[in-house]
Structure 1
């Protein structure tokens, strides 16, 4: 019985940490979370567009810093460092706020442009529409790696964005697998398993994404070091 508990205990600890971190993330995202949920009850197109525009404006200032802080907490777990959750979340939030906000402005603008192109072209030029849908998924992946790179390295903003882009290409199948799993989690969270939203959706995606980023990042660094030694 004790051996079984020893095996289950780390899993239970991870579940608890993911749930608490996700709840903290939701609290820091309350205005954005409220508007996102309200989209499901809006029936008029002008109101829907207005709400989406408000979300696009708020996201860089609210969601991006909060998500970066969540990645900072998750990074400590994956690196096997034990830190006070609330204290480290707040420290990561303050430390990376300006950089996250600036990156958020770039990613949000790019996302708005690609989304508008996708909706405009999907009915008139379906192939072009699929291309922009692929670019949206790629942008989502770069964004996830940007969060991870922000809390893992001390590079400048655009260098970090460049690193994130390069890492998505360094191991494309693995990285796009991470993006697709994250999108599937989001899809089921909003359609059928809504209980995941306040407890696991954000933190599980952060853990998965940082794990993928760190694996690719480590391989690239190892390759660079081996070339330097030759």
Structure 2
């Protein structure tokens, strides 16, 4: 592949990433943010997942179909994550305002926060990759994060790096953050899934 072909390939990929990111923002706003965030993110991860499978898809039609299909169920998960996130935020503020009297709750809240973050990191990739029952998605996302420490750390590192880039170049917000993180998370998650599958195959052949 020549230099010009490589450039075209990278440029085309960046255009698709920017398009997906714009769709993510548009459909999130279409659901008034609160009701659009999770269905839109699920749709974005679905499109990215299909890219990894090298499927030729119509991006907008696929996105719109998944957004509608997952609107109710996605908001069910969104309600769980957003409510728990608000609960943790409020409780940490409460502990800071009551120095000493409620400090024994800190370890409990830190543990809940730890479980919350690990589950959320892998939730969307588990959701679009597997067919599970409602709460099995949450359980499997957490377990995969625990048994895949390298991939978990790399996803966290990617999120931190993207945050730093946004603070330096806020103009990229409409173009890349969501889709790039979806791509990185999907790639690392698929690697984690494959490692787990390989271990299961080895154990079954013993």
The question of a shared fold, defined as TM-score above 0.5 by the shorter chain, is answered with: yes
1:167 positional shift: 0.7
Inter-partner Cα distance in structure 1 for 2:109 and 2:188? 24
Flag structure 1 segments of 5+ consecutive residues without an equivalent: 34-57
Structure 1 residue 132 displacement after superposition: 4.8
Match of 2:157 in 1: 180
Q: Secondary structure of 2:2's match?
A: helix
Q: Which moved more, 1:161-170 or 1:191-200?
A: 191-200
Q: 2:193 matched to which residue of 1?
A: 217
Would the aligned equivalents of 1:25 and 1:70 in 2 still touch at CA under 8 Å?
A: yes
Helix, strand or coil at the partner of 1:29 = helix
- State TM-score, norm by structure 1: 0.77
Verify the 8 A CA contact 2:18 2:179 in the aligned structure 1. yes
Whole-Å separation in 1 of the counterparts to 2:202 and 2:66: 33
- TM-score normalised to the size of structure 2? 0.85
Could you tell me how far 1:152 is from its partner in structure 2? 1.1
Distance 1:205 1:141, change over 3 A: farther
1:110-159 deviation per Cα after TM superposition (whole angstroms, max 9, x unaligned)? 11122122233357379976985685465234223111111111111211
Distance 1:202 1:136, change over 3 A: farther
Match of 2:53 in 1: 79
Q: CA-to-partner distance for each residue in 1:169-224, whole Å, 9 max, x for gaps? A: 011233132123214313542x3321121110111111111112111111112211
Secondary structure at the counterpart of residue 173 of structure 2: helix
Aligned to 1:15: 14
The CA distance in 1 between the partners of 2:64 and 2:81, in whole Å, is 23
CA shift at 1:168, angstroms? Answer: 0.6
Taking the TM superposition and a 5 Å limit, the aligned residue runs for 1:73-222 are 73-122=47-96, 124=99, 132=109, 136=113, 139-189=116-166, 191-222=167-198
Residues 46-84 of structure 1, C-alpha deviations (whole Å, 9 max, x = no match): xxxxxxxxxxxx52x210001110001111112222211
How many residue pairs were aligned? 203
SS at match of 1:220: helix
